[in-house]
Amino acid sequence: MNKKTVRDVDVTGKRVLVRVDFNVPQDKKTGEITDDTRIRAALPTIRYLIEHKAKVILCSHLGRPKGVTPELSLKPVAQRLSKLLGQPVQIAGDCVGPRAEGLAAALQEGEVLLLENLRFHEEEEKNDPGFAKALASLADVYVNDAFGTAHRAHASTAGVAKYLPAVAGFLMEKELEYLGRALADPKRPFAMVVGGAKVSDKITMLENILPKVDALLIGGGMANTFLKAQGYDVGKSKVENEHLEFAARLTAQAKEKGIDLLLPVDAVVAEKFEAESPNKTVNVDEVPKDWQILDIGPRTVKQFSEELQKCRTVVWNGPVGVFEFPAFARGTQAIASVLARIDATTIIGGGDTAAAVERQGLADKMTHVSTGGGASLEFLEGKTLPGVAALLDR
């Protein structure tokens, strides 16, 4: 990684503004945090700053508020973070203005302040220069440790870096190291497992990744489009007819380059897109006309597993079935189990894939589970992430 990190700047006695990603799920009735993975992911950077006697000012968004929305306050996050750190975490009533300025100015070395939800101000997402300058005025140094928002050019991810020395936190560094190495210099054989509902969401990524991999395994709803492009009747399964040509072209390119492109050979089909819908397993050339594919079948699991066991690097982006429904989660669970066992660098590309792995309790068996769904997808597409580009080069 060619970006400076928090290790490369002197933070002692300095006020350090840290962009974290505390956009955590909460119980709608109680407001209680139901998964604190993202808070825990930021702890190494926060603890480093505390140990090096910095005055720590954290900022994050939570949800999609329209103006000040009390139920999207970061107060519950401050309470959880306080428990995890074993020290008080103050919460500011706002993220800019007199209250925030006063609390930031009064911070002592090793103390932690959490600013209120950035998105209570619409200027945050507009990357408003005045808002970015007001945020920057609270601190002497800026650290971006929020990979999950690095693909957004917002005031707190890109704007602030114009006014302060800007470096990466440890989580940002880890994300860029693992994803960057997988694309630039992977141990081979290198495979990518791609799932999710739509081909349209992953076209740029598939085009960028194809020349880099030795094998491409396609499952999930997007596999239906590839199967139909090969002449299979997929019944009432969701298909993006406008991308059939792309699917056929990518399949031909893989063949031309000697890349193994694996599609499902069997599938779990259901009468309806419902958790309790009657279902059965069929070969992909036997899908009933009024049924739809909701998961990969056992023969596909076996074929995918055998391919993955040969690999030294695997990146996985997107579930291979409707993993939210237990009856159609077996394929995704099987892929996770294989990746947890193999002797390879295994990188899980955030979002639903990370949720599926965490639900199975296998996150700690993977080399790296990305905290950024959209950001990791754009990184795999080969795009420049504004929040990364804004950081100082080594």
pLDDT in tens, the chain (394 residues): 789 999 999 999 999 999 999 999 998 888 889 989 899 999 999 999 999 999 999 999 999 999 999 999 999 999 999 999 999 999 999 999 999 999 999 999 999 999 999 999 999 999 999 999 999 999 999 999 999 999 999 999 999 999 999 999 999 999 999 999 998 999 999 999 999 999 999 999 999 999 999 999 999 999 999 999 999 999 999 999 999 999 999 999 999 999 999 999 999 999 999 999 999 999 999 999 999 999 999 999 999 999 999 999 999 999 999 999 999 999 999 999 999 999 999 999 878 899 899 999 999 999 999 988 889 989 999 999 999 999 999 9
Residue 240's pLDDT is: 97
Regarding whether 191 and 147 lie in a shared domain, the answer is no
Q: How far apart are CA 57 and CA 96, in angstroms?
A: 12
Q: Which of 171, 187, 211 is the last residue of a domain?
A: 171
CATH of residue 129: 3.40.50.1260
Domain count across the chain = 2
Regarding whether 43 and 162 lie in a shared domain, the answer is yes
CA 171 to each of CA 70, 143, 178, 247, 369: distance values in angstroms, whole numbers, following the listed order: 29, 11, 11, 35, 11
Regarding whether 167 and 271 lie in a shared domain, the answer is no
User: Tokens in use for 34?
Assistant: 């139901």
Residue 372's pLDDT is: 83
Judging by DSSP bridges, how do beta strands 368-369 and 345-348 pair with one another? Answer: parallel
The answer to whether residue 338 sits within a structural domain is yes
CA 305 to each of CA 100, 189, 208, 372: distance values in angstroms, whole numbers, following the listed order: 53, 14, 24, 26
Q: What is the CB-side half-sphere exposure of residue 215 using CA atoms within 13 A?
A: 22
The answer to whether residue 385 sits within a structural domain is no
User: Tokens in use for 27?
Assistant: 């119980």
Selection from 163, 92, 98, 104 nearest residue 130 by Cα: 163
Regarding whether 124 and 247 lie in a shared domain, the answer is no
The answer to whether residue 187 sits within a structural domain is yes
Regarding whether 253 and 280 lie in a shared domain, the answer is yes
Residue 308's pLDDT is: 98
- Domain enclosing residue 184, as ranges: 179-380
Q: How far apart are CA 128 and CA 149, in angstroms?
A: 16
Residue 266's pLDDT is: 98
The answer to whether residue 1 sits within a structural domain is no
The answer to whether residue 14 sits within a structural domain is yes
> Could you give the residue numbers annotated as active site?
38, 198, 351, 374
Q: Which of 110, 144, 171 is the last residue of a domain?
A: 171
Q: Are 149 and 387 in contact (CB under 8 A)?
A: yes
Regarding whether 192 and 156 lie in a shared domain, the answer is no
CA 338 to each of CA 183, 270, 321, 360, 361: distance values in angstroms, whole numbers, following the listed order: 22, 25, 16, 12, 13
Selection from 311, 298, 303, 391 nearest residue 347 by Cα: 311
Helix (H, G, I), strand (E, B) or coil at 254: helix
Q: How far apart are CA 250 and CA 305, in angstroms?
A: 22
Residues 6+ apart with CB under 8 A from 98: none
Q: How far apart are CA 391 and CA 144, in angstroms?
A: 8
Regarding whether 267 and 125 lie in a shared domain, the answer is no
Residue 30's pLDDT is: 86
Regarding whether 275 and 137 lie in a shared domain, the answer is no
Q: Which of 152, 171, 190 is the last residue of a domain?
A: 171
Helix-, strand-, coil-residue percentages of the chain, each rounded to 5: 40, 15, 40
The answer to whether residue 354 sits within a structural domain is yes
Residues 6+ apart with CB under 8 A from 205: 194, 317, 377, 380, 381
Q: Are 181 and 175 in contact (CB under 8 A)?
A: no
Regarding whether 300 and 326 lie in a shared domain, the answer is yes
pTM: 0.90
Regarding whether 258 and 122 lie in a shared domain, the answer is no
Regarding whether 199 and 103 lie in a shared domain, the answer is no
Regarding whether 246 and 157 lie in a shared domain, the answer is no
The answer to whether residue 388 sits within a structural domain is no
